Structure 1
Amino acid sequence: MEININSIEEKLGYIFKNKEILIEALTHSSFVNENKMKAYESNERLEFLGDAVLNLVIGEYFYKKYPKDLEGSLSKMRAESVNEKVLYVLSKKLKLGELLRFGKGEIKNGGRNRESTLADALESLIGAIYLDSNFDTIKNIILKLFDKFLKEDNFKSFNIDFKTKFQEQAQKKGLKSEYKLVKEEGPDNDKVFYTELLLEGEVVGFGKGRTKKSSQQDAARDAFSRKGKDFG
């Protein structure tokens, strides 16, 4: 598979001097295994580095933004900002799933849309940019990429227990809610569950996830986004 380098560089606003490191960042271990490459030629080492750089940049951001907050509060905000769901959403915006080099088996198993894989790929990309440039450059790219999550505190919405929140609101209003599993897809080791959330028998939310619990959380999140202040 030929990678559209221009496309990702345009989205990032950064031109790689070393194109090989970009290709490495977009190379999944399944591609390496299938093509009998060296294990270190996958993006896993870059993922390790990118994770460290990302935590430093976001940690510094909160340290400066909240000068009176203590370590516990700062750590919590950082963890909420760089968790898998946030990284997944940002990687989808960059369309990383379309650019990654996978083995054929991984593609069949839904690798291009797997949350953990895309989150890891974004960290690999961050590691690659850091090595190709310098700390200030990758810092600016990260803060631009995370801008809306950080400035509007949107990262907090990715860590709310929507299922519990929905149940509490329903009980307050004397309404009956229930979750209905409507579909399962994929092999036993890589299933996707689809769930409907019903309120008084009416479908108010739809979700999907790798577990039944996560699909229910997604359905509750969807219900809140649809009903807004009427149920918030």
Structure 2
Amino acid sequence: MSADLKHLQQSLNIQFKNRPLLKQAFTHASYVNEHRFGQHQDNERLEFLGDAVLELTVSEFLFQAYPNRPEGELTKLRAAIVCEPSLVKFAESLQFGQYVLLGKGEELTGGRMRPALLADVFESFVGALYLDQGLEVVRTFLNTYVFRQLSNDGKMQINDYKTRLQEYTQQHNMGVLEYRIVEERGPAHEREFVSEVHMSDECLGRGSGRSKKEAEQQAAAQALERLANPKS
């Protein structure tokens, strides 16, 4: 059962003018499919819009905050902020998962905890906030809950190991990386994925996680450690 959205608005000190829009931001497609006779809309369109709003506002923030950074560095910083692991972290810190309206099947299989779902909900909330109150309120929200999590050098407090591995292998002309999901284990509500990162026929790293992207990040992290300490 999802929590009351009134509590969320109070905790964020944001009151939506269009409350059905806020509800839509937290309505998963599985809920709409199970309530076909109600006037419910899922959050997929808002997710699409929120993704674009995040790209713009994060780009604007980085452009102003780091006037001496070249385009390439700003692009990498933006990618680290809007990647799925970061969005999941933001959604979890705001406890967005407890407010999502889910279908019974999705609820029983642990959908409320799925990283991809949480990342999507964060984007859809941003999209709804933009439509309801405009870009300035979105900027204020992101400044409070996203930009303050940047360290002094502009990096997120989480690591994008895949990007770092890609940069390392390109700098050393090592070849093309390939990520493979080699195993899925555990019950549906506690699914765990196992990923390997390969170059040619060699496995450079292996990792696991609650989503395929998280497993790939862990595989990349192991690969970086191995490349940095080849004798270990």
Scaled by the length of structure 1, the TM-score of the pair is 0.71
Name the CA shift for 1:37/1:111 in 2 (closer, same or farther; >3 Å). Answer: farther
Letter in 1 for 2:51: D
Task: Give how far 1:158 is off.
Answer: 2.4
Q: Alignment RMSD, CA only?
A: 3.4
Task: Give how far 1:35 is off.
Answer: 1.1
Equivalent residue number for residue 172 of structure 1: none
Matches within 5 A, 1:149-228: 149-152=149-152, 153-155=154-156, 157-160=158-161, 184-187=185-188, 191-192=191-192, 208-211=209-212, 214=215, 217=218
Equivalent residue number for residue 57 of structure 2: 57
List per-residue Cα deviations over 1:88-120 (Å, max 9, x = no partner): 011011111111001111112211000011000
Equivalent residue number for residue 31 of structure 1: 31
Distance 1:130 1:212 in 2: 28
Letter in 1 for 2:48: F
Distance 2:68 2:193 in 1: 43
Contact 1:193/1:212 (8 A) holds in 2: no
Identity in percent: 34
Distance 2:68 2:49 in 1: 29
Secondary structure class of the residue paired with 2:150: helix
Task: Give how far 1:130 is off.
Answer: 1.0
In structure 2, the gaps of 5 or more residues are 166-183, 195-206, 226-232
Equivalent residue number for residue 142 of structure 2: 142
Task: Give how far 1:207 is off.
Answer: 6.9
Distance 1:211 1:48 in 2: 21
Pair 1:10-2:5 in alignment: no
Name the stretch that deviates more: 68-77 or 146-155.
146-155
Contact 2:151/2:157 (8 A) holds in 1: no
Secondary structure class of the residue paired with 1:41: coil
Name the stretch that deviates more: 39-48 or 15-24.
39-48
Contact 1:193/1:208 (8 A) holds in 2: yes
Equivalent residue number for residue 177 of structure 1: none
Stretches of 4+ aligned residues off by more than 6 angstroms: none
Equivalent residue number for residue 81 of structure 1: 81
Letter in 1 for 2:92: K
Matches within 5 A, 1:101-116: 101-116=101-116
Name the CA shift for 1:133/1:210 in 2 (closer, same or farther; >3 Å). Answer: closer
Count, aligned residues: 193
Equivalent residue number for residue 95 of structure 1: 95
Equivalent residue number for residue 122 of structure 2: 122
Name the CA shift for 1:151/1:13 in 2 (closer, same or farther; >3 Å). Answer: farther
Scaled by the length of structure 2, the TM-score of the pair is 0.71
Task: Give how far 1:84 is off.
Answer: 0.5
Distance 2:136 2:217 in 1: 41
List per-residue Cα deviations over 1:207-232 (Å, max 9, x = no partner): 743359818829x79xx9xxxxxxxx
Name the CA shift for 1:66/1:217 in 2 (closer, same or farther; >3 Å). Answer: same
Secondary structure class of the residue paired with 1:158: coil
Task: Give how far 1:78 is off.
Answer: 0.5
Secondary structure class of the residue paired with 1:22: helix
Secondary structure class of the residue paired with 2:158: helix
